[in-house]
Amino acid sequence: MNSKSTFGIHFVLKNSKVIDETAPIYARITVDTNRVEISVKKRIPVSNWHKGKGLAKGKTTDISRLNSYLEQFRSQLTECYQELVVNKQTVTPEAIKNKFLGVEDSGETLKGLVEYHNTGMDSNLRWGTLKNYKTTEKYIEKFLKQKFKRNDIYLVELNYKFITDFEHFLRKYQPEDHHLPMGNNTVMKHIERLRKMTNLAVRLGWLDKDPFVAYRLSFKRVEREFLTQLELDTIKKKQFKIERLQYVKDLFVFSCYTGLSYIDVMNLQPNNIRIGINGMNWIITQREKTTTPVRIPILSQAQVLIDKYKDHPRSANKGTIFPNISNQKLNSYLKEIADVCEIDKNLTFHVARHTFATTVTLTNGVPIESVSKMLGHTDLKTTQIYAKVVEKKISDDMANLEAYLSGERSKKKNAK
């Protein structure tokens, strides 16, 4: 340790936690310009505290006992500091605190767990899933720096409060770029990934108990955005002179008539187009996200787009049906298309998949079991969400019909 390093312990009140005019006492450990605080598990009336001396003031027996306890606390922290120095270990406020708490020998940290998961599981996780874990890792790092002024934390320090504090951090986080603050389900997804990693730590023996045992994830059901037949027809008929917009429009329409996700469209190769049981062309592939097999009869609206792009130089060079384009650019261009077509919806590529499930198939009488198979769902309950949307549409249509018929009856009555 550098001879110029300074070490000090000062007791302070946590005025932000005053209850009935009493405040908790914390020991502030300082090494050079870095510091950390640890609760001494004692409270005192604010009026009985000497801020400058960092001790209780007064001559009562209780005050004397409290000050004696604080000096013992200081002595124990100092012993932890001296032990680090003697053993030539790195001396930081966190190291002193952890040694005092008895977690210095744990060795396993949250950062180490995240790195182990993201590097050790990279062969088992799909690229998109791994990318999401990387994003969660970024937010964990930001949270540790803001909340604890640290880059890492021992796994044994994880508890219910850590999780709820992390949730609060995510909900209040203000992005530095143009993105909107996180919605509830996005926050829950990050916490769900943290839970999966701590479950891994329990299985590895790095954690004795699950810190999530008392925590419950709370997802909110969201309505699946999809296009009506009129909106879909509007986009289909629109021709763009700008090549990039025309291409993105074609990709979107293709997904509306196949139900394929962005990554599955980009991965589509000529050998995925085969003759099916009915003698017509089928898409036979598997979902990138779940590796679930998918078999989709190709409708004429989709076949014409396959024929249009299969010989494109960029497609041939990559060995795919369609030229590559990033999901970010694709969704950005879809916003332009929505504006031009005067569609007041948040148009993303995934809306095409929802449109296939609702407007193109279920609304036209395709059985839900068949739709589920073509979407690559492993659970029919996932597809039933779309069926509920269709039921709502039927309800709205019947309400409009009722209004129309009521109007007609009123006209006939007035005519008499």
- Average pLDDT on 306-320 reads 89
pLDDT averaged over the chain?
87
pLDDT above 50 for 162: yes
Q: What is the pLDDT of residues 210-223, one digit of tens each?
A: 999 999 998 877 66
Q: Where are the beta strands (DSSP E) in 194-280?
A: 273-275
The whole-angstrom separation of Cα 91 and Cα 130 is: 35
pLDDT at 1: 40
- Domain borders along the chain are 7-101, 110-204, 229-390
Give the pLDDT score at 406.
81
Place of tokens 């073509």: 374
- Token pair of 40 as six digits: 């001494």
* The pLDDT value given to residue 391: 73
Average pLDDT value for residue range 30-52: 91
**Higher pLDDT among residues 397 and 19, named by residue:** 19
Q: Is the dihedral of CA 252, 257, 261, 263 positive or negative?
A: negative
- Given the candidates 3.30.70.260, 1.10.443.10, 3.30.420.40, 3.10.450.50, the CATH classification of the domain at 229-390 is 1.10.443.10
Asked if the model's pLDDT at residue 3 lies above 50, the reply is no
Output the pLDDT for position 5.
67
pLDDT at 73 over 70: yes
Which residue, among 345, 219, 245, has the nearest Cα to 354 in the 3D structure? Answer: 345
Q: What per-residue confidence (pLDDT) applies to 128? A: 67
pLDDT of residue 38: 93
3-state secondary structure of 246: helix
pLDDT tens per residue, range 333-347: 999 999 999 999 989
Does the structure show a pLDDT above 70 at 258?
yes
| pLDDT tens per residue, range 184-202 | 989 999 999 999 999 999 9
The confidence band for 411, taking pLDDT boundaries of 50, 70 and 90, is low
Bridge partners of residue 30, in order along the sequence:
8, 35
Q: How far apart are CA 407 and CA 412, in angstroms?
A: 9
What tokens appear for 193 in the block? 């990934």
